[in-house]
């Protein structure tokens, strides 16, 4: 096998007969250099979908969207009407643990007020 050897000393200053130890080239490995950025995976997001029913008062739904989902009065009214007409609407997109605790909050608040409003959670495929 042929090997290219780099000696840091100028060759004329090496005494004749000096022994140079050469490593077996097969043991030299090029360092692995990572050129691509590591792809950090984003956590999956979940949609909170509010469902229609025939009993919960519209005004209660609007108030709930304003207080628990920080919607403006205008946004809350639009979402409530969409639920009323289409059967359901997304009212927030967030990580799973946040979505679960929000839904628990909504349902216990509604139950405490005697209203049957329900929500469901669905993984968001758009992220
Ligand atoms: N459909 C209800 C009504 O006519 C209003 C309503 C809207 C209920 C949204 C639930 O998530 C809901 N009073």
Query: What pLDDT, in 10s, does the model give residues 17-48?
Result: 666 565 555 566 667 777 787 888 888 999 99
Ligand 1: lining residues by beta carbon, under 6 Å: 50-54, 56-58, 61, 80, 83-84, 117
* pLDDT bracket for residue 3 (50, 70, 90): very low
Six token digits for residue 12: 């004329």
Length of the chain: 127
Beta carbons of 70 and 60 less than 8 angstroms apart: no
> Could you tell which of 56, 90, 91 is best to mutate to test the pocket of ligand 1, judged by most ligand atoms within 8 Å of the CB?
56
CATH number at residue 87: 3.30.1390.10
User: Does a structural domain hold residue 46?
Assistant: no
User: Does a structural domain hold residue 39?
Assistant: no
Nearest CA to ligand 1 atom 5: 58
The residue range of the domain holding 114 is 55-123
User: Does a structural domain hold residue 70?
Assistant: yes
User: Does a structural domain hold residue 2?
Assistant: no
Chain centroid to CA 47: how far? 13
User: Does a structural domain hold residue 10?
Assistant: no
Ligand 1 center–CA 97 separation, angstroms: 26
Q: How many domains does the chain have?
A: 1
Nearest CA to ligand 1 atom 4: 54
Predicted structure pTM score: 0.72
User: Does a structural domain hold residue 21?
Assistant: no
User: Does a structural domain hold residue 27?
Assistant: no
pLDDT in tens, 9-21: 555 555 666 665 6
User: Does a structural domain hold residue 18?
Assistant: no
Six token digits for residue 57: 């008062």
């Amino acid at each position: 096998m042929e090997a290219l050897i780099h000696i840091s000393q100028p060759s004329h200053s090496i005494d004749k007969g000096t022994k140079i130890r050469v490593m077996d080239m097969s043991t030299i490995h090029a360092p692995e250099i990572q050129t691509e950025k590591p792809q950090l995976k984003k956590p999956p997001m979940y949609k909170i979908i509010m469902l229609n029913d025939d009993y919960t008062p519209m005004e209660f739904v609007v108030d709930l969207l304003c207080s628990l989902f920080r919607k403006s009065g205008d946004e809350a009214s639009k979402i409530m009407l969409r639920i009323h007409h289409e059967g359901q609407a997304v009212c927030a997109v967030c990580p799973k643990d946040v979505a679960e605790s929000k839904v628990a909050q909504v349902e216990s608040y509604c139950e405490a007020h005697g209203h049957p409003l329900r929500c469901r959670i669905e993984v968001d495929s758009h992220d």
